[in-house]
Structure 1
Amino acid sequence: MDVERLLGMVLRSGLSTKSKSKGKSKGFSGMVKKAAFSKEGLTLLAGIGMAAYEHFRGAQAAPTPPTPATGPATPPPFPGAKAAPPPFAGARALPGTPDPDLLLLAMVTAAKADGVLDPSERAALLEHLLQSGAGAEERALLDRLLAAPMDLDALVARVTDPVTAAEVYAASRLAIEPDLPVERAYLAELARRLGLDAAMVAEIEARLDEAAG
């Protein structure tokens, strides 16, 4: 089974079927369609991983600024919120190729954030992938991921460095247009659990906006 190929299809084709019944375009965002992905669909995410590598190297070398007394309003806690992890410590090797299996899981987990992916929408997505050339094994893998209960703990547990954390957040952000409070809360909780600071989240968002053109 070619998971990289499946991830590329999902990145390029999107999960727009998820929201047709709502009359709006969300799901795997339309911004992806304009992005310059490689055949495997990982070029943009790999670039974000490199940016995270540079960001965290710089953060380790710089003194920690004082925490401001006040800040922007944040969404309400996502259900099941847990303590944020300690900051990533130590030098990390240069980022390599992103893990397509993990990024696919990140996108599907984010797509479940609002809890409305029903069987008919899942079937429509799989049909869309069939028309895009996905094979039976690839469609079966995605169907299993879509049908499984949402498990943010399992996703976060697989992330062990800031490079992967940034790639997972970026893939998750590509999965949804956060126009609902629960989706914004999910992304905020994900960033917190991944140990991504506000500056890195802003860098990721800026790179995705640039890719959208």
Structure 2
Amino acid sequence: MNPQGLLEQFLGPNAGQAAGGAMQNAKGKLANSGLGGVAGGLAAGGLLGVLLGNKKARKTAGKLAGGVVGYGGAAALGALAFRAYSNWQAGQQAPQQAAAQQPAAAPPPALPPAGSKFLPAAAPASNGRPFELALVMAMIAAANADGHIGPDEQRLIFNKVGELPLDAEDKAFVFDALGSPPSLQDIANLAEGPEQAAELYLVSRLAIDPDHPMEQAYLEALASRLSLPGELVGHLESQAEAATA
């Protein structure tokens, strides 16, 4: 099984890129242009666009899909989650520094350091399996939040998965998850620490166009089950909006 390749097929078209090469490429691009170029195509790439059906990200897939080409969707996702988390931490520290009359800290880096838990391949989920699989399950669960994935949509997704360069085990994993989507609590239980919790929320938000009360309720419940502070959720929302704007 190739968890990294499977995640890339969901997040963007560069499924064959190795994790190290993707991260190195992302570093170069982000250093020059910030997160915007990477984020621009994240929600429209690969199977995530199919999961969203005819929602906004699918409608804009043509002009956005190129944004993540060459960067690696997993690397982009980790960068977005890291940026949100770093901004939240900086906001938490600012009042304390002001009260102690200390100079403000330097702005956080744009990319997670090597070995950071914000890189999906860096640490397993709480069940001991690769965290990339947890992120795929989170997208599938979130996409089912409003019940729009009916039999016709499911057949479309199955056909799309069948065309992808995935091995039989990867395809079986996706088919099983689509046939019996994990529950919200199943997804929340997969987080091993706050970094993974933040990333699970972010990828779930990318799989939802929250214009439906059921989708909004799902995200609120997920944030609660993941024990994410409201301010951090706000930063994650900002990064998700930038990725799909």
TM-score when scaled to structure 2? 0.62
Does residue 8 (structure 1) correspond to residue 30 (structure 2)? The answer is no
Identify, as 1 or 2, the structure richer in helix: 2
1:129 is aligned to 161
| Length, aligned pairs only | 182
Matched letter for residue 95 of structure 1:
K
Within the candidate set 156, 159, 176, 2:188 is matched to: 156
**Which amino acid letter does the alignment assign opposite residue 97 of structure 1?**
L
- Please list the CA deviations of residues 184-206 of structure 1 after superposition, one character each: whole Å capped at 9, or x if unmatched: 11111111222223332222232
The Cα offsets for residues 62-90 of structure 1, whole Å up to 9 and x where unpaired, read as: 669xxxxxxxxxxxxxxxxxxxxxxxxxx
Q: Which secondary structure does the structure 2 equivalent of 1:188 belong to? A: helix
Q: Tell me the amino acid that sits aligned with residue 119 of structure 2.
A: T
Q: Could you say what the CA RMSD is over the residues aligned between the two structures, in angstroms?
A: 3.0
Q: TM-score, normalised by structure 1?
A: 0.70
User: Which consecutive residues of structure 2, in runs of 5 or more, have no partner in the other structure?
Assistant: 12-44, 97-114, 121-130
* Higher RCO (CA-CA < 8 Å; seq separation 6+): 1
Distance 1:27 1:140, change over 3 A: farther
Q: Distance in 2 between matches of 1:108 and 1:165?
A: 16
1:94 CA displacement: 4.4
Instruction: Tell me if the contact between 1:173 and 1:187 (Cα under 8 Å) persists in the aligned partners.
Output: yes
Equivalence map 1:170-209=2 (5 Å): 170-209=202-241
The answer to whether the 8 Å contact 1:19/1:25 transfers is: yes
SS at match of 1:95: coil
SS for the counterpart of 1:14 is helix
Which of 114, 119, 124 aligns to 2:151? It is 119
* Distance in 2, Cα, partners of 1:195 & 1:131: 38
Structure 1: any 5+ residue segments left out of the alignment? 65-92
- Contact conserved, 2:10 with 2:47, CA < 8 A, in 1? yes
Identity, in percent, stands at: 30
* 1:198–1:35 Cα change, 3 Å: farther
CA apart distance, 1:19 = 6.0
Partner Cα distance (1:157, 1:28) in 2: 29
Q: Within 5 A, what are the aligned runs for 1:41-190?
A: 41-55=73-87, 57-58=89-90, 61=93, 94-98=116-120, 99-190=131-222
